[in-house]
Structure 1
Amino acid sequence: MEAMEISRSGLDVEWQRLQVIAANIANMNTTRTADGGAYVAQRLVSGPVEGFQALVQPNASQKGDAPDNGVMVYQIAASNSGTRQVYDPNHPHANDGGYITVPAISQAEEMSLMIKTQRSYEANLVALSAAQQMYSAALQVGRQS
Protein backbone atom coordinates (compact mmCIF):
# COMPACT_ATOMS: atom_id res chain seq x y z
CA MET A 1 0.00 0.00 0.00
CA GLU A 2 3.07 2.25 -0.02
CA ALA A 3 2.38 3.52 -3.55
CA MET A 4 -1.09 4.66 -2.51
CA GLU A 5 0.30 6.44 0.56
CA ILE A 6 2.87 8.27 -1.56
CA SER A 7 0.20 9.42 -4.01
CA ARG A 8 -2.05 10.45 -1.14
CA SER A 9 0.70 12.62 0.36
CA GLY A 10 1.19 14.24 -3.06
CA LEU A 11 -2.54 14.94 -3.30
CA ASP A 12 -2.52 16.59 0.12
CA VAL A 13 0.45 18.81 -0.70
CA GLU A 14 -0.91 19.90 -4.07
CA TRP A 15 -4.33 20.65 -2.55
CA GLN A 16 -2.69 22.90 0.04
CA ARG A 17 -0.64 24.57 -2.73
CA LEU A 18 -3.88 25.32 -4.61
CA GLN A 19 -5.31 26.94 -1.47
CA VAL A 20 -2.24 29.19 -1.13
CA ILE A 21 -2.45 30.20 -4.79
CA ALA A 22 -6.15 30.97 -4.43
CA ALA A 23 -5.42 33.15 -1.39
CA ASN A 24 -2.78 35.05 -3.37
CA ILE A 25 -5.19 35.70 -6.25
CA ALA A 26 -7.98 36.72 -3.87
CA ASN A 27 -5.70 39.22 -2.12
CA MET A 28 -4.08 40.78 -5.19
CA ASN A 29 -5.57 44.17 -4.36
CA THR A 30 -5.53 43.96 -0.56
CA THR A 31 -4.00 47.16 0.77
CA ARG A 32 -4.33 46.41 4.47
CA THR A 33 -4.19 43.24 6.52
CA ALA A 34 -4.81 42.79 10.23
CA ASP A 35 -1.17 43.83 10.78
CA GLY A 36 -1.78 47.12 8.96
CA GLY A 37 0.45 46.51 5.93
CA ALA A 38 -0.25 45.30 2.43
CA TYR A 39 -0.86 41.60 1.86
CA VAL A 40 2.33 39.59 1.26
CA ALA A 41 2.11 36.81 -1.31
CA GLN A 42 2.71 33.31 0.06
CA ARG A 43 4.46 30.26 -1.36
CA LEU A 44 4.13 26.69 -0.17
CA VAL A 45 7.48 24.98 0.41
CA SER A 46 7.31 21.21 0.10
CA GLY A 47 9.68 18.33 -0.27
CA PRO A 48 10.32 14.67 0.50
CA VAL A 49 9.51 13.26 3.93
CA GLU A 50 12.84 11.41 3.93
CA GLY A 51 16.06 12.90 2.65
CA PHE A 52 17.49 11.46 -0.54
CA GLN A 53 20.42 9.88 1.30
CA ALA A 54 18.08 7.89 3.55
CA LEU A 55 16.30 6.50 0.49
CA VAL A 56 19.44 5.26 -1.26
CA GLN A 57 21.32 3.86 1.74
CA PRO A 58 21.48 0.06 1.65
CA ASN A 59 20.71 -0.21 5.38
CA ALA A 60 17.55 1.92 5.17
CA SER A 61 15.29 -1.15 5.13
CA GLN A 62 16.98 -2.61 8.23
CA LYS A 63 15.86 0.18 10.58
CA GLY A 64 12.94 -1.88 11.83
CA ASP A 65 10.39 0.61 10.61
CA ALA A 66 9.71 1.12 6.95
CA PRO A 67 11.06 4.48 5.78
CA ASP A 68 8.48 7.20 5.40
CA ASN A 69 7.98 8.01 1.75
CA GLY A 70 6.04 10.70 0.03
CA VAL A 71 6.08 14.45 0.32
CA MET A 72 5.15 16.94 3.00
CA VAL A 73 4.68 20.66 3.50
CA TYR A 74 7.70 22.23 5.18
CA GLN A 75 6.22 25.70 5.53
CA ILE A 76 4.16 28.42 3.94
CA ALA A 77 6.65 31.22 3.42
CA ALA A 78 6.31 34.82 2.36
CA SER A 79 7.16 35.37 -1.27
CA ASN A 80 9.93 37.80 -2.15
CA SER A 81 7.76 39.53 -4.78
CA GLY A 82 7.38 42.64 -2.61
CA THR A 83 4.85 45.40 -3.14
CA ARG A 84 4.07 48.00 -5.76
CA GLN A 85 2.66 51.51 -5.66
CA VAL A 86 -0.58 52.26 -7.53
CA TYR A 87 -1.92 55.75 -8.06
CA ASP A 88 -5.45 55.92 -6.65
CA PRO A 89 -6.03 59.23 -4.83
CA ASN A 90 -9.67 58.35 -4.00
CA HIS A 91 -8.74 55.18 -2.13
CA PRO A 92 -9.12 55.48 1.67
CA HIS A 93 -5.62 54.02 2.21
CA ALA A 94 -3.89 56.41 -0.21
CA ASN A 95 -0.88 58.31 1.10
CA ASP A 96 -0.35 62.05 0.69
CA GLY A 97 0.81 61.56 -2.90
CA GLY A 98 -2.32 59.55 -3.79
CA TYR A 99 -0.57 56.18 -3.97
CA ILE A 100 -1.64 52.93 -2.34
CA THR A 101 0.59 49.94 -1.61
CA VAL A 102 -0.58 46.61 -3.01
CA PRO A 103 1.22 43.28 -3.29
CA ALA A 104 3.24 42.74 -6.47
CA ILE A 105 1.37 39.59 -7.45
CA SER A 106 1.27 38.64 -11.10
CA GLN A 107 -2.07 37.11 -11.99
CA ALA A 108 -0.53 35.39 -15.02
CA GLU A 109 2.20 33.83 -12.85
CA GLU A 110 -0.32 32.67 -10.26
CA MET A 111 -2.60 31.17 -12.92
CA SER A 112 0.27 29.31 -14.60
CA LEU A 113 1.35 27.99 -11.20
CA MET A 114 -2.25 26.95 -10.58
CA ILE A 115 -2.33 24.99 -13.86
CA LYS A 116 0.98 23.32 -13.03
CA THR A 117 -0.32 22.41 -9.57
CA GLN A 118 -3.57 21.10 -11.02
CA ARG A 119 -1.64 18.84 -13.39
CA SER A 120 0.49 17.53 -10.52
CA TYR A 121 -2.69 16.82 -8.59
CA GLU A 122 -4.16 14.96 -11.57
CA ALA A 123 -0.93 12.97 -12.01
CA ASN A 124 -1.16 11.86 -8.37
CA LEU A 125 -4.78 10.81 -8.96
CA VAL A 126 -3.72 8.71 -11.95
CA ALA A 127 -0.90 7.11 -9.94
CA LEU A 128 -3.32 6.37 -7.08
CA SER A 129 -5.79 4.79 -9.50
CA ALA A 130 -3.04 2.69 -11.12
CA ALA A 131 -1.90 1.47 -7.69
CA GLN A 132 -5.47 0.51 -6.81
CA GLN A 133 -5.81 -1.41 -10.07
CA MET A 134 -2.52 -3.24 -9.46
CA TYR A 135 -3.52 -4.20 -5.92
CA SER A 136 -6.91 -5.36 -7.18
CA ALA A 137 -5.29 -7.44 -9.93
CA ALA A 138 -2.91 -8.98 -7.38
CA LEU A 139 -5.88 -9.95 -5.22
CA GLN A 140 -7.56 -11.56 -8.21
CA VAL A 141 -4.41 -13.56 -8.98
CA GLY A 142 -4.25 -14.64 -5.33
CA ARG A 143 -7.87 -15.81 -5.40
CA GLN A 144 -7.29 -17.91 -8.51
CA SER A 145 -4.39 -19.87 -7.06
Structure 2
Amino acid sequence: MKTLSRTCSAVGFAALLAFAGTAAAHAASVTVPDEGTLLADGAGATVSVSFECSSGSTINIFVDAAQTVDDNRVATGNGFSSTADCNGGEDSLDVTFLAAGDYVAFEEGTAAIRVVLISCDTQTCEQIIEAGEVDLTE
Protein backbone atom coordinates (compact mmCIF):
# COMPACT_ATOMS: atom_id res chain seq x y z
CA MET A 1 0.00 0.00 0.00
CA LYS A 2 2.85 2.41 0.82
CA THR A 3 4.42 1.73 -2.58
CA LEU A 4 1.14 2.54 -4.34
CA SER A 5 0.71 5.69 -2.22
CA ARG A 6 4.27 6.87 -3.01
CA THR A 7 3.76 6.10 -6.70
CA CYS A 8 0.52 8.09 -6.75
CA SER A 9 2.21 10.97 -4.88
CA ALA A 10 5.12 10.97 -7.32
CA VAL A 11 2.76 10.88 -10.31
CA GLY A 12 0.66 13.69 -8.79
CA PHE A 13 3.77 15.79 -8.15
CA ALA A 14 4.99 15.20 -11.73
CA ALA A 15 1.58 16.25 -13.05
CA LEU A 16 1.71 19.40 -10.93
CA LEU A 17 5.16 20.25 -12.30
CA ALA A 18 3.96 19.64 -15.84
CA PHE A 19 0.97 21.93 -15.26
CA ALA A 20 3.20 24.60 -13.73
CA GLY A 21 5.49 24.35 -16.73
CA THR A 22 2.51 24.80 -19.03
CA ALA A 23 1.31 27.84 -17.12
CA ALA A 24 4.79 29.37 -17.21
CA ALA A 25 4.95 28.84 -20.98
CA HIS A 26 1.90 31.11 -21.34
CA ALA A 27 4.04 34.23 -21.14
CA ALA A 28 3.48 37.41 -23.10
CA SER A 29 5.08 40.84 -23.38
CA VAL A 30 4.12 44.17 -24.93
CA THR A 31 6.15 47.26 -25.82
CA VAL A 32 4.87 50.85 -25.65
CA PRO A 33 5.30 52.39 -29.13
CA ASP A 34 7.62 55.39 -29.55
CA GLU A 35 5.56 57.13 -32.22
CA GLY A 36 2.07 57.38 -33.65
CA THR A 37 0.36 58.98 -36.64
CA LEU A 38 -2.40 61.56 -36.23
CA LEU A 39 -5.60 60.98 -38.19
CA ALA A 40 -8.28 63.41 -39.43
CA ASP A 41 -6.82 66.61 -37.97
CA GLY A 42 -6.26 64.96 -34.58
CA ALA A 43 -9.62 63.21 -34.22
CA GLY A 44 -7.56 60.10 -33.50
CA ALA A 45 -4.20 58.44 -34.01
CA THR A 46 -2.76 55.08 -34.93
CA VAL A 47 0.12 53.36 -33.13
CA SER A 48 1.92 50.13 -33.98
CA VAL A 49 2.16 47.98 -30.83
CA SER A 50 4.85 45.28 -30.69
CA PHE A 51 4.17 42.18 -28.64
CA GLU A 52 5.25 38.58 -28.05
CA CYS A 53 3.07 35.71 -26.93
CA SER A 54 3.03 31.92 -26.92
CA SER A 55 2.08 30.09 -30.09
CA GLY A 56 -1.50 28.87 -29.90
CA SER A 57 -2.63 31.80 -27.77
CA THR A 58 -4.75 34.74 -28.85
CA ILE A 59 -4.34 38.39 -27.89
CA ASN A 60 -6.28 41.62 -27.70
CA ILE A 61 -4.61 45.01 -27.28
CA PHE A 62 -6.24 48.07 -25.70
CA VAL A 63 -4.74 51.57 -25.87
CA ASP A 64 -5.57 54.66 -23.77
CA ALA A 65 -3.97 58.01 -24.59
CA ALA A 66 -4.00 61.50 -23.05
CA GLN A 67 -2.32 64.69 -24.19
CA THR A 68 -2.30 68.22 -22.79
CA VAL A 69 -3.21 70.61 -25.62
CA ASP A 70 -3.78 74.38 -25.88
CA ASP A 71 -5.14 76.21 -22.84
CA ASN A 72 -4.33 73.21 -20.62
CA ARG A 73 -7.17 71.16 -22.05
CA VAL A 74 -6.65 67.40 -22.23
CA ALA A 75 -7.31 65.29 -25.30
CA THR A 76 -8.14 61.70 -24.38
CA GLY A 77 -8.92 58.64 -26.40
CA ASN A 78 -8.91 54.89 -26.48
CA GLY A 79 -9.03 52.06 -28.96
CA PHE A 80 -8.56 48.33 -29.26
CA SER A 81 -7.42 45.70 -31.72
CA SER A 82 -9.33 42.80 -33.10
CA THR A 83 -8.39 39.39 -31.67
CA ALA A 84 -5.18 38.07 -33.21
CA ASP A 85 -3.45 34.69 -33.13
CA CYS A 86 0.03 34.43 -31.61
CA ASN A 87 2.83 32.98 -33.71
CA GLY A 88 5.27 32.41 -30.84
CA GLY A 89 7.59 35.23 -31.89
CA GLU A 90 7.61 39.00 -32.01
CA ASP A 91 4.74 40.58 -33.93
CA SER A 92 2.88 43.90 -34.08
CA LEU A 93 -0.62 45.25 -34.55
CA ASP A 94 -1.82 48.71 -35.51
CA VAL A 95 -4.28 50.12 -32.99
CA THR A 96 -6.30 53.27 -33.65
CA PHE A 97 -7.60 55.38 -30.79
CA LEU A 98 -10.21 58.10 -31.23
CA ALA A 99 -10.70 61.36 -29.34
CA ALA A 100 -13.26 60.96 -26.56
CA GLY A 101 -14.55 62.95 -23.60
CA ASP A 102 -15.05 66.53 -24.76
CA TYR A 103 -13.74 65.52 -28.19
CA VAL A 104 -10.64 67.66 -27.85
CA ALA A 105 -8.34 66.87 -30.80
CA PHE A 106 -4.87 65.41 -30.40
CA GLU A 107 -1.96 67.52 -31.66
CA GLU A 108 1.57 66.89 -32.81
CA GLY A 109 3.71 66.26 -29.77
CA THR A 110 4.05 63.94 -26.81
CA ALA A 111 1.11 62.04 -25.34
CA ALA A 112 0.87 59.69 -22.39
CA ILE A 113 -0.14 56.19 -23.43
CA ARG A 114 -1.17 53.00 -21.65
CA VAL A 115 -1.14 49.69 -23.49
CA VAL A 116 -3.00 46.66 -22.14
CA LEU A 117 -2.38 43.25 -23.70
CA ILE A 118 -4.64 40.32 -22.84
CA SER A 119 -3.29 36.94 -23.91
CA CYS A 120 -5.40 33.79 -23.60
CA ASP A 121 -4.65 30.13 -24.20
CA THR A 122 -7.18 27.31 -23.88
CA GLN A 123 -7.12 27.43 -20.06
CA THR A 124 -6.08 30.84 -18.77
CA CYS A 125 -5.75 34.50 -19.63
CA GLU A 126 -2.95 36.87 -18.70
CA GLN A 127 -3.04 40.68 -18.62
CA ILE A 128 -0.01 42.92 -19.07
CA ILE A 129 -0.10 46.71 -18.66
CA GLU A 130 2.68 49.04 -19.81
CA ALA A 131 2.69 52.85 -19.87
CA GLY A 132 4.91 55.50 -21.37
CA GLU A 133 5.01 58.33 -23.87
CA VAL A 134 4.37 58.37 -27.60
CA ASP A 135 5.34 61.08 -30.10
CA LEU A 136 2.34 61.92 -32.31
CA THR A 137 3.05 63.32 -35.78
CA GLU A 138 1.03 64.08 -38.93
TM-score (norm 2): 0.29
Normalized per residue, which structure has more strand? 2
TM-score (norm 1): 0.28
Normalized per residue, which structure has more helix? 1
